[in-house]
Amino acid sequence: MFDPSLTRAEKLAVLATYVISVLILCFLVLPIITIIPLSFTHDSILSYPVESWSLRWYRVLWENPVWGEVLKNSLIIAAASTIVATALGTLASIGLTRRHCPAPGLLTAFLLTPMIVPVIITGVASYFFYTQFGLTNSFAGMILAHSILGTPFVVITVTATLQGFDQNQRRAAYSLGARPWFAFTSVIMPQIAPGILSGALFAFITSFDEVIVALFIAGTEQYTLPRQMFSGIRENLDPTIAAVATVMIIVSIAILALAQYAAARGQKNG
């Protein structure tokens, strides 16, 4: 466990680091995973300890058409906003890493604003802005709003990937007669694909989990899974909410693991 060359004080410091890391991990994760056992209760009230175990609420979730409809809405909005955010974020990252880009640091800070500004402000601003164009209570409004939230994640990951890209390869492709689009798809994109994939996955999970903007933009026909959960919590807190939350936790972990794998593979290839 410890390097034999370490002194006693250094070993204690390493051990203290491990202990603190575990405590921080528990502090961050335990409040989230405590909802999982509640989703398997047979009772109609959320309470600990769980006296009887059952898949009852997962069956309710599967058989209730409302949850199926909001899940379909979430997937449609998340997929569409991911495509838009990935395209915009990738193009922005390419522009930011060009040698003649003016004030790249300032432009990057501006593009990352949706990630820094509180989501409630983004939701209110989006509502008043989209109202002027009739985009509230519509899928188009939801997709555009979620695209704004997801684009910064794409910018971060793709820009980081492009930092290690040799721009001489692009110039060599141009010198051989390749058009810009062909040079991008054949030379640049294969090498930055892990960064694009990571950004797309983060954009997807941002849209899939988002609820604040949905409160302002979504109409009854655009209810997403988190939006329906919020309404359910306000009206009637039943264990179905815990079942939905468990499913969303599993999906989020799977997507983040895939993003981590893509990032690790990108570093390996680099």
Q: Supply the DSSP symbol for 250.
A: H
Q: What is the pLDDT along the chain (270 residues), one digit of tens a residue?
A: 556 666 777 778 878 888 899 999 888 888 788 888 888 887 777 777 777 788 888 888 888 888 888 888 889 999 999 999 999 998 888 888 777 777 777 888 888 888 888 888 888 888 888 888 888 888 888 999 999 999 999 988 888 887 776 666 766 777 677 677 777 777 777 777 888 888 888 899 888 888 888 888 887 787 888 888 887 776 666 778 888 888 888 888 887 787 777 666 655 655
- For 149, residues 6+ apart whose C-beta sits below 8 A from its C-beta are 81, 85, 114, 115, 119, 122, 203, 206, 207, 210, 213
Residue 84's pLDDT is 93
Instruction: Give the global pTM.
Output: 0.79
Q: Are 153 and 207 in contact (CB under 8 A)?
A: no
Residue 85's pLDDT is 92
Q: Supply the DSSP symbol for 53.
A: B
Residue 236's pLDDT is 64
Residue 165's pLDDT is 67
End-to-end CA distance of the chain: 31
